[in-house]
A = this chain, B = another copy of it.
């Protein structure tokens, strides 16, 4: 197998692109895909600071690596979810990455903000752990970026993540969620930062290869609560389709962005208020995060 660029020995084959690359040309390909994502959706501008939400995993650290490399003014944000050894390990990977590159890393502890770590939130709310965790992450990412005066947050969601989320939304025809599924969400309120996903064109396999080649020390383990998550079974389903027909995932996501999503874009916007408690954006009076924090603080 030869690299389609330099005809040297290829180290990775990308069936959906009908391509193979040597290490150096694969790194170029990867960075070009990120550049193309940023360009196509006008995700970032060169002199604007960007916050990179990092989990310690391959995707978000690969993203941070590329953005630093391309000269963006980045600040990492690590949310400590307090999930036992998993959180200890993943935090260490982020700190190591940031200090090796001399870039700032902000750390925010869910336990400080909500009143308890994710495993306790799970018990108090008696809901699946991903529910309170996801809510807290979305809220804190936005608030911390605002507090640092950073207008945009980049996350490491890749093609597989986005296709799996879309698959779930489509299987249930969640017409509220569908118009919000996009590689770039604009700010619709002064207290909402923009959110962008510069890796949406790259598969999980590709981010893993990039992280490996760039010698990024990332946490390989999945979150211990992720086992049995429907997103994982959706990924398996999509992987099976990809196996039978390379490009199936790509076509599903990109076809949606081109042809499906426009059909679901709503003209009317949901009215946004500021939470009576914390001042962050909510569609009600008190935001879901403050309600969660109340519930947790009452219980612990």
Listed in ascending order, the chain A residues whose CB lies under 8 Å from chain B are: 170-173, 175, 233, 237, 240-241, 244, 248, 251-252, 255-256, 258-260, 263-264
Minimum C-beta distance from A222 to chain B (A): 19
Minimum C-beta distance from A82 to chain B (A): 30
Contact of A241 among B171, B241, B251 (CB under 8 A): B171
Q: How far is the CA of A255 from the CA of B171 in the complex (A)?
A: 8
Query: Contact at A244–B233, with CB atoms within 8 Å?
Result: yes
**Chain multiplicity (copies):** 2
Q: How far is the CA of A102 from the CA of B263 in the complex (A)?
A: 49
Residues of B close to A252: CB separation below 8 A: 170-173
Contact of A255 among B172, B241, B251, B258 (CB under 8 A): B172
Query: Contact at A240–B237, with CB atoms within 8 Å?
Result: yes
Query: Contact at A173–B241, with CB atoms within 8 Å?
Result: no
Residues of B close to A256: CB separation below 8 A: 173
Query: Contact at A175–B263, with CB atoms within 8 Å?
Result: yes
Minimum C-beta distance from A208 to chain B (A): 25
Minimum C-beta distance from A18 to chain B (A): 19
Q: A171-B241, A171-B251 are in contact. List 7 more A-B contacts (CB 8 A).
A: A171-B252, A173-B256, A173-B259, A173-B260, A175-B263, A237-B237, A263-B264
Q: How far is the CA of A258 from the CA of B260 in the complex (A)?
A: 16
Contact of A175 among B172, B233, B248, B260 (CB under 8 A): B260
Residues of B close to A233: CB separation below 8 A: 244
Residues of B close to A173: CB separation below 8 A: 251-252, 255-256, 258-260
Question: 23 pairs across A/B with beta carbons < 8 Å?
Answer: A170-B170, A170-B252, A170-B260, A171-B241, A171-B248, A171-B251, A171-B252, A172-B252, A172-B255, A173-B251, A173-B252, A173-B255, A173-B258, A173-B259, A173-B260, A175-B259, A175-B260, A175-B263, A233-B244, A237-B237, A237-B241, A263-B263, A263-B264
> Which single residue of chain B is at the shortest CB-CB distance from A175?
B259
> Which single residue of chain B is at the shortest CB-CB distance from A173?
B255
Q: How far is the CA of A258 from the CA of B241 in the complex (A)?
A: 27
Q: How far is the CA of A204 from the CA of B256 in the complex (A)?
A: 29
> Which single residue of chain B is at the shortest CB-CB distance from A179?
B263
Residues of B close to A260: CB separation below 8 A: 170, 173, 175
Residues of B close to A175: CB separation below 8 A: 259-260, 263
Minimum C-beta distance from A169 to chain B (A): 10
